[in-house]
Structure formats: C-alpha cells, structure tokens
Structure 1
Amino acid sequence: MKALLPVALVSALCSSVVMAHDAGDIFVRAGLATVMPNESSDEVGGDELDIDNDTQIGLTLTYMVTDQFGVELLAATPFTHSVSTSSLGEVAEISHLPPSVMAQYYFGQSNSKVRPYVGAGLNYTIFFDEEGKGDLNGTDVNLDNSFGLAAQVGVDVNVADNWFANASLWYMDINTDVHTAVGTLETDIDPLTFMASVGYIF
C-alpha cells in the first residue's frame, strides 16, 4: 500500500478528473494502519516498558458537514503488541482497539484534486487479551481502558471518479495503568499512527 501511494499521487496530479468533497458527502477510506508507540512508564528493575509496533487494516468513515468541515470515525482490526524490558525480555502481549472521532477542517476548494486536512477529537482505547510472558508467564496482566485526546493531519488526492488516495498521520493520547501480580505500572503509550489508504465518495 505504501509503495503504491506515490504512484497514485503522481497519476492524480496528471489527471483531468476532479474530486469533490461537498457538504453531505459520505466517504470511506480503507488501507493499512501502523501504530508506533512512543511509550514511557514506571520502571521495572530499572527499565521502562518497551512496546513494539503493529500494522493492521484501518477503516475511516467521514461525513462532510460543509464543504470545509467533516466528522470522521476511525476503526481498525485489533492491534497486538509485545511488551518487554531490556533486562527481562518479553513480559506480556496485549491487544487493543482505538476507536476515535475527529472534527476535521479541509483546506482548498471542494473540487480541488488535492485536499489536505487537519483534525482533532477524542480517542477511547479498549485493551483485551492481555497475557503474561517470560517472567510473568501464567500471571494475570490487566490494562485499564484509556480515554484521551487525538489529532491528525492528512491529504486526499483524486485518482478517478469518486476514488482517491489518502495518507494520514494520527497522534493519540493513551494513558493506562498496567496491573500485574508484582504491582501496578503507570504507562503512557501515546502512539503515532500512519495510515495509507484508498477512499471512495458516495
């Protein structure tokens, strides 16, 4: 998907087809989303928790309230991350879903071939299927769900009638308490999420 996106962008700029983001339009974007945690936490044996990246299918649904303002809902298939420390290795595996709602502002005219946009809103992250690994194998690991702010930047580029390519970058404020048999760790995950997708306007 990431490799095809530049080709789509170049094709769009050379195309005479014009995309419209008009008031009342509904459009969906589907593609690959990569969650990249920027974590910090209480220390375990002198080390903070390290949470790896994961890529899943991302989906957004947008309603254009006006030609410039839209409301977007983000959904995805569950993300799964390995949690480790430098001294203990892998200590847990967690899964989560990060549904988010964004208010968006689109720059340019509604019929522009290229529509950059920014957004701000709220994220609710649901953790599940937590499992202890390594030194925590067989012990209970639980993460509190998180509610926080979210922000995004993105761009839509026309490729054909009603079709467009999209690239977007999200920031999510995700704070949670990690409960284990040896204590509770306050953890900030605060990931950046990059999504490359194809969209269709209804």
Structure 2
Amino acid sequence: MKRVAVAVAILSAFSGMTYAHDAGEFFIRAGSATVRPTEGSDNVLGSLGGFNVNNNTQLGLTMTWMATENVGIELLAATPFRHKVGTGPTGDIATVHHLPPTLMAQWYFNDASSKFRPYIGAGINYTTFFDEKFNDTGKAAGLSDLSLKDSWGAAGQVGVDYLINRNWLINASVWYMDIDTDVRFKAGGVQQSVSTRLDPWVFMFSAGYRF
C-alpha cells in the first residue's frame, strides 16, 4: 500500500506540472542576432550612388515580463553591431557601430499551458550610433568628420517559444525596425548630410530561462 501511495503521489506531482507562460513570470533569452539592413539613401555627393551597409551578427538579449498568460512586454538589447558602409564605385569607406534597444508589447497564441507558443509584437525602437569612422579609402577621397543622427521608429516582430521543461525554452524570432538617420560628414572641408534609411530585418535564435 505504501508503494501505491508513493506512486500516486508522484503521478499527482507530474500531472500538476505545467509549461505555462504564467502571469507575472519573467523570461530571459540569449542567442545570435543578425541585423540585415534594407538600406537606401540619397545619392552621395551626387555621383557615388547611395550608401550600402553589410550584415552583422552579435549576441542578442531579450527580457520578457508576462502581464497575463497571453500578453507580454519585451525589451531587446544586444552587444554593439558593427557595419561596414560603402558606395558602389568606391567600396567600403567607413565603419559604424550602433545599438537598437527596442520595447515590444506581445500577444501569445495557443493555450497558456501549451509547450508551443507563437506570438506577435509591436513597439518602438531607439537606435543610437557611435564610433563612426572613415577608413583609409574614405579619407583618401577627402571625407572626414563622420556622424549619424540617432533614430526613433516603429518596430514589429513574430516569434515562437518552445518550452523544453518548466524553466528552459528555445526561441526563434524575426524583427523589423524602422531606422532613418542623417549621415553627416565633410567632403573636401564642405559639410554634407545624406538622408539614409536602414530599416533592418533582425533574425534571432536563442535559448531562454524563465523564473
């Protein structure tokens, strides 16, 4: 009888275990985040065409607070992204670093106890640029004093959590960010400003822990 009682107790404990995204819980996720700009800009100095910007991958971090079983609030952070900037005729002429902290309100689909939770989100992005430098190619072309204006814009995302157990999960998400900036520099000592659209897609694959 004691063995039966122990077995019943164990089964009851396991039946009570859920993988739910419960109200009041926090999630921390960490993984690779790849920024892929869909850049466009005014012509540079009238003859060099628009800017082009390469992709970059860094450590992405998110923290999510579940306001309810279906509504989450998420903050995206990352280590600084580093992009090479160029134009068609000249190749790479500069490097630029940026950080794009983004705040999202999310809606999670499926039942709260499901291990598979797709979600969508919408929010606001702030991007700050720093350590902007022309390389030797840019300097040889007479370019100097590079700076980029910080940006505010809308953001959206789709993603999915798969809960491995009560505490651990894996995640995949795609973000879109509206990032517009003015690229300011001097050409031959004359001040220039080029309106530039980055509007990147961000692809993140991560592991997460909740508490």
Q: TM-score, structure 2 length as denominator?
A: 0.86
- Post-superposition offset of 1:195: 0.2
- Post-superposition offset of 1:109: 1.0
Q: Which runs of 5+ in 1 are unaligned?
A: 1-15
Say which structure, 1 or 2, has more relative contact order (CA 8 Å, 6+ apart). Answer: 1
Instruction: Map residues 1-202 of structure 1 onto 2, 5 A cutoff.
Output: 18-44=18-44, 45-137=47-139, 139-182=144-187, 183-202=192-211
Q: TM-score, structure 1 length as denominator?
A: 0.89
Q: Is the 8 A contact 1:38 1:189 kept in 2?
A: yes
| d(CA) in 1 for partners of 2:57, 2:137 | 26
- CA RMSD, Structure 1 to Structure 2 (Å): 1.4
Q: Deviations over 1:91-113 (max 9, x none)?
A: 11000000000000000111101
Counterpart secondary structure, 2:145: coil
Report sequence identity in percent: 52
Q: Is the 8 A contact 2:48 2:87 kept in 1?
A: no
Larger deviation, residues 61-70 vs 135-144: 135-144
Q: Deviations over 1:140-166 (max 9, x none)?
A: 100000000000000000112311100
**Higher Rg:** 2
Aligned length: 187
4+ runs of 1 displaced by more than 6 Å? Answer: none
Counterpart secondary structure, 1:141: strand
- Post-superposition offset of 1:18: 4.7
